[in-house]
Amino acid sequence: MFEDLKPHLIELRKRLGISVISVIVMFFVMFFFWKPILDWMITPLVAVLPQGSSVIFTKVQEPFFTALKVAFFSGFIVSLPVIFWQLWLFIAPGLYENERKFVVPFAIGATIMFLIGALFCYFVVIPFGYEFLINFGSQLFTALPSIGEYVSFFTKLILGFGLAFELPTVTFFLASIGVVTDETLKSFFKYALVVIFMLSALLTPPDVLTQFLMAGPMILLYALSILIAKSVNPAKKEDDE
């Protein structure tokens, strides 16, 4: 059995190796630009800080490790086309010839949908979420957010929304190879709602508004995925007889 799996494990190691090398290379490239990238990342936070508040660091090593986080996060984002490409190349040998033609659309589509999710998070979720959380206690306390904690939470949110927006792309792929149909997704909808709200609670700040800002689009994306599956691989209707 192991001998049967060995070629797949070798192929997986190859694809993972190329992806990791891509991220590492881009990490070193992005490290030279970590300051302007960090300025872009903290812009939504600075915009909602009350007068007299500022972003601080509380540990001596925090600025350096924050720079590493920014560079790694940026390197990962820039490497996404390569990562999705390698993922497809790993899957492709198990597909039929006519299914392999989706390699370029998959890599491009997955990257675009991830970026749409990330931008939605940056321009909508983060400003609303942090404005609510900071203004909630601003009359009693002075907001002095830590840069390290903010960057960690920022990357968590961006990655969460980026991955959530992959749902239509994944559905298109699975429907194209006949794994799912619109009826499959419809029957799973009630369970999907539970999963969506659980993920929203885990990935967003502990306020209802931000959680709904994630859950709402995910529900719409799930509905869009049903339409995609229906157009690509509709469920066969049973005979009335």
CA gap 165, 149 in Å, rounded? 25
CA distance 26 to 76: 7
Contacts of 53 (CB under 8 A, 6+ apart): 134, 138, 142, 143, 144, 145
Task: Report pLDDT digits (tens) over 75-98.
Answer: 999 998 898 888 878 877 766 676
Q: Which residues pair with residue 56 across a beta bridge? A: 146
CA-CA distance, 119 to 240, in Å (whole number)?
47
> Which region among 69-73, 113-117, 178-182 has the lowest average model confidence (pLDDT)?
178-182
Stated pTM of the model: 0.82
CB crowding 52-75: b at 16 or more within 10 Å, else e? ebeeeeeeeebeeebbebbbbbbb
Mapped onto helix, strand or coil, the DSSP state of residue 24 is: helix
pLDDT, residue 23, reads 95
Give the pLDDT of residue 239.
39
The two three-digit tokens of residue 64, written as one number: 């350096």
Beta-strand runs (E) in 113-194 = none
182-229 tens-digit pLDDT: 898 999 898 999 988 888 887 776 667 777 888 888 899 999 999 998
Q: Report the b/e string of 202-213 with b at 16+ CB within 10 A.
A: ebbbeeeebbeb
Q: What would the pLDDT profile of 149-183 be if each residue is shown by its tens digit? A: 899 989 988 988 898 898 898 888 888 878 888 89
- What does the pLDDT read at residue 137? 66
Q: How many CB atoms lie under 10 A from the CB of residue 18?
A: 16
CA distance 68 to 133: 27
Per-residue pLDDT band for 69 (boundaries 50, 70, 90) equals: very high
Report pLDDT for 241: 42
pLDDT value for 104: 74
Residue-wise pLDDT for 24-68, tens only, equals 999 999 999 999 999 999 999 888 888 878 888 888 899 999 999
Indicate if the alpha-carbon torsion angle 203, 209, 214, 219 is positive or negative: positive
Report phi then psi at 146, rounded to 5. -80, 135
Find out whether 147 and 55 touch, Cβ atoms under 8 Å.
yes
